[in-house]
Structure 1
Amino acid sequence: MRVHNGLRIIMLASAFSTPLAAQVPEQVTLCMPLEPPLLDPTRGPAQAIRELTYGNIFETLVAIDRDGRLQPGLAESWKVSADGLVYDFKLRSGASFHDGTPFTSFNVAYSVERAKRPESRNAQKWIFDPILRVDTPDPLSARIVLSRPTANFLYGLAWGDAVMVAKGSAAENATVPIGTGPYKFSRWVRGERVELVVNDRWWGAKPTFAKAIFRFISDPAVQVAAIKAGDCDALSNLAAPEAIPALKRDPRLAVTTGYTEGKTILAMNNGKAPFDDVRVRRAIAMAIDRQQVIEGAMSGLGIPIGSHFSPSHPAYVDLTATNAYDPEKAKAMLAEAGFPNGFSATLKLPPPAYARRSGEIIAAMLQQIGVKITIEPLEFPQWLERVFRGKDYDLTLIAHTEPLDINIYARPDYYFQYRSLAFNAALNDAETATSDEARNAAYGRAQKRLADDAVNVFLFLLPKVTVTKGSLTGMWTNWPLPANPLAELSWK
């Protein structure tokens, strides 16, 4: 018997209706929707890797704080030359890796060189492409020399893909990660949890918790039951937004609603027929009522977007009226493209609840214009291998959570398989601009090109709903990037 999601939540919550489990003074348990496929953020694009490791196990030269501002990380300060080509970093004295290896400028040079290798699996190689060389004048000084000015270079160095690693341990970081952060890897119980312990040699202030557990709960109803039962001290991103009113009424819990940088898209394989025809892509976009998707899949949470850009950025342009919902026009455009009776396609969906729920709604909408959709659910490792790396898909649905990541559309080998000289020119203008006004104008042109080309169907900005025990403080309300820094947590 099929049980409606809302009813399942009530039934499971009732089964866990005992008082919240007592807090453990020296331990914190965070529950998150997905298990990471590996634990090295330099070797995979999965958001879950960064949720667990960023600022906990691994650190970057420059960090991003909860408000999206750049802060000192393993570099306590830096200077940039007037021509924007030379970055001099002063590194922290006394920082070391969990195995006792001192952190020095040698590690900076090695981390960059490793990321730039042709065989590197780093998902954000654009960060390192402009780097001409890394000089190491002394152990606590690193000089990065660029081949061209790059406006967002420091910002890129703050991403999880740019964490610092050591030559002696980097090869094993996927399963036994060794970083410089406030927490050390302890063990990984596959399919259930990752356990961390405090790093007593960390350069920063000692964290509150001696032990931290990340539990993986993908089922939205089970998430709700677990937080109500006290099995989670915090739930980093609730996948059941319909449960928010009931959770807010629980005096033992605190619920906050913020934003992420997650641009949720229905991605189309631009390199594969019939999606290589812009008329087909525009028809697909016009068939989808994004507001109805937001209401049905996200209980109304989520900001509509019309291109691959966050509304929180000053360069954002509202392009939601481009290829606006118009199913009759969509049918006419399909007929013009040679598909008067529609066609069949497969929609491959990764496991997050927002993807599965949105995918069901979108499939029904596309059916209305004659596009017959077969839904194929995939586990995340399958999605990464077949869709992201193998480009073996027609349609898929995913949220890209990296900040300011419009540059992915300039990569000819990216899984969208989109190519546009006009877009590349606009992006280059943005990256080399010498003023914020010129940079934002160029970003605006780039956004408009993506919307006009209907590269993907741009749906909504993914919200972040955090649920915690009322006595826990320090969780990020917003996600300028996916992160759950444990050192910021404490009991009231």
Structure 2
Amino acid sequence: MNRLIGLACAGMLAASGAFAAGTTLNVGMGSADAGKLDPHVATSTPDKGLLHWMFNGLVRIKPGEASPEFIEPDIAESWTASEDGLTWVFTLRQDVDCHGDYGGIDAADVVYSLNRSANPEQSSFAKDFEAFESVEATGEYEVTIKLKNPVPSLLGMLVPYHGGNIVCQDAVEALGEEYQRTPIGTGPFMFAEYQPQQYVKLVANPEYYRGEPKIKEIFYRYIPSDASRDLAFQSGEIDMIYGKQDQTWSERISKLPGTKVTVMKPGEMSVLHLNMTMPPLDDVRVRKAFAHAINRDAMVQFKGPDVTLAAISPVPEGNMGYTDQVPTYEYSIDKAKALLAEAGYPDGVTIKAIHTTLPGMLSTMEAVQSMLRDAGINMEIETVEHATFHEQIRKDMSQVVHYAAARFPVADVYLSQFFHSDATVNTPTAVANFSHCAVADDDIAGARVATDPVKQAEMWASAQAKIMEEVCAVPVVQSLQLWAWNDRLDLGAEVNGSLNLSPPVTEKAFFKD
């Protein structure tokens, strides 16, 4: 209990105004509340962004970048790999401390973290780690990972993004269920306080191994209304704002004096997953009609061509293994209606969808709803809070799931998580296969173990073609991440992207006088 009291006191100290002016960062996030703050469970964009500032991995992508080419040491100071790619040895730093008084990070914590990430009862990302044969402490500060088969870009799995977040074993075990609301990491900022539907407060980690942060406290405020969030930013109540994902927002906010707007990679790809087990979507003709009713060009214009890309394949453009050589369904209301009639629905169909209240996603879904209506497809939308949305779609409760996701940019990740049958929702090995797609299993599995890069690329391409032929899902657009902040805030890095979809607030961030 002393550990929790210590953290609470840190929060009280921050709230009391003990920190000097210009050291408090107020962030406005477009969500009604926090979801789960355990980094091995959290899947939503708002939660991943917050956790980004609290946790480290064995390796990381250089702050301000999103491409694997920028991977660099984090908790691991060096590593080696065997010639066959099956054995990896990581040498750890010896100066990494857990938040509070939970001690230093050593090999045992890393082993615990990666085994926890691989456990489906404790992790949302267990599927990613199925190729791990063993993770062992081969020294107090040395960890050896052995693989059953080569993994495309293993280092990408070990960045602090999903399962790569390193947790402190003593903290997780001591806090139990409380850990989901009291995350203890090793990063530049420490959890201090959570006020439901209001904010999470972080304070600087004075023992951070890269140096004590110049920002002393962060209020991560939940403001789901775009208008309210914009007003708070304009009035100076918040310093950094999660933007509405459309071009008009970017153009308008960038005109505010003293404001910096950034368009970050990677884009979250909006995909409409069609549950092929639920009538009428169990008929491929209905799914093809659905695809023909979507006007991607109109969606790009709706969101803004400077901040949006059309999505063609179930793997995002720019990912290793992406191909555009897949079946496509041009926008045609006539073809959509003809397919519905052929399937026995000349008067149209009604389908039901559960959807998040997050404004950026909801506006996309409402635009799709309007397009479908023109083709005789009536999509009834039930809106729920974002955390509830994630919970219900994973219980297989929605005929259509609009999922906007960014993942580590390798084809295997998207294909394995969204389109392999092992990942089907509401099953023991569930990840995010909302459509119950199974047509590309052999290609996905084969590419994962292929040692010939050409053969691997061919299998990935084949998988994408089969998924689109079956219309397991309809890719719509990639929406790049929009953020803005007061230009007095210097993040200490040029921001081109962030896998965690939030700007890199590190120990180097500070407010200029």
CA positional deviation for 1:86: 0.7
Q: Deviations over 1:370-427 (max 9, x none)?
A: 112212111112212211x211011132201223332211123444142324x12222
Higher mean C-alpha deviation, range 412-421 or range 109-118: 412-421
Residue 137 of structure 1 and its aligned partner are, at CA, apart by 1.9
Match of 1:102 in 2: 104
- Contact in 2 for aligned 1:305/1:320 (Cα 8 Å): no
1:160 — aligned with what? 162
CA RMSD of aligned residues (A): 2.1
Letter in 2 for 1:160: H
Structure 1 residue 464 displacement after superposition: 1.4
Q: Distance in 1 between matches of 2:335 and 2:323?
A: 24
8 Å Cα contact 1:33-1:239 kept in structure 2: no
How far is the alpha carbon of 1:294 from its aligned partner? 2.9
Alignment correspondent of 2:445 = 428
Q: Indicate which of 256, 279, 302 corresponds to 1:296.
A: 302
Report the TM-score when normalising by structure 2.
0.86
Which stretch of the first structure deviates more once superposed, 328-337 or 424-433? 424-433
* C-alpha distance in 1 between matches for 2:228 and 2:245: 10
- Matching of residues 87-166 of structure 1 within 5 Å: 87-100=88-101, 101-120=103-122, 122-158=123-159, 159-166=161-168
Native 8 Å contact 2:87 2:145 kept in 1: yes
Q: Which whole-Å deviations, capped at 9, do the CAs of 1:421-479 have from their partners, x for residues lacking one?
A: 4x122222332233544433332222222222211110111111221112222273423
Amino acid at match of 1:412: T
How far 1:313 sits from its partner (Å)?
A: 2.5
Q: Which amino acid aligns with 1:445?
A: S
> Which residue number in structure 1 is paired with residue 54 of structure 2?
57
Secondary structure (helix, strand or coil) at the match of 1:168 reads helix
8 Å Cα contact 2:97/2:208 also seen in 1: yes
Structure 2: distance between partners of 1:386 and 1:195 = 28
> TM-score when scaled to structure 1?
0.89
Aligned partner (choices 311, 329, 333) of residue 305 of structure 1: 311
Q: Tell me, what secondary structure is at the counterpart of 1:247? A: helix
Partner in structure 1 of residue 361 of structure 2: 355
Q: Is the 8 A contact 2:437 2:472 kept in 1?
A: no
Deviation at 1:339, TM superposition (A): 1.7
For residue 12 of structure 1, what is the aligned residue in structure 2?
none
From 216, 219, 233, the equivalent of 1:213 is 219
1:426–1:442 CA contact under 8 A, matched in 2:
yes
Q: Does residue 490 in structure 1 map to residue 510 in structure 2?
A: yes
Structure 1: 5+ residue runs without aligned partners?
A: 1-22
Whole-angstrom distance in 1 between the partners of 2:246 and 2:317: 24
8 Å Cα contact 1:236/1:484 also seen in 2: no
Aligned mates of 1:291, 1:479 — CA distance in 2: 26
Amino acid at match of 2:396: K
Q: CA 1:108–1:39 in 2, change beyond 3 Å: closer, same or farther? A: same
Preserved contact between residue 297 and residue 357 of structure 1 (Cα < 8 Å): no
Deviations 1:204-254 (A, max 9, x none): 132221111211221111222121111121113334642332322222212
1:61–1:75 CA contact under 8 A, matched in 2: yes
Partner of 2:25: 28
Classify 1:126/1:64 alpha carbon distance in 2 versus 1 (closer, same or farther; 3 Å): farther
Deviation (angstroms), 1:51: 0.2
CA–CA distance in structure 2, aligned partners of residues 149 and 248 of structure 1: 45
1:471 aligned onto 2:477 = no
Q: Is the 8 A contact 2:25 2:219 kept in 1?
A: yes
**Greater displacement, 323-332 / 444-453:** 444-453
* Structure-1 residue corresponding to 2:8: none
Matches within 5 A, 1:52-451: 52-54=50-52, 56-65=53-62, 66-67=64-65, 68=67, 69-100=70-101, 101-120=103-122, 122-158=123-159, 159-170=161-172, 171=176, 172-239=178-245, 241-297=247-303, 301-318=307-324, 322-387=328-393, 389-404=394-409, 405-406=413-414, 407-408=416-417, 409-410=419-420, 411-413=423-425, 414-421=432-439, 423-451=440-468
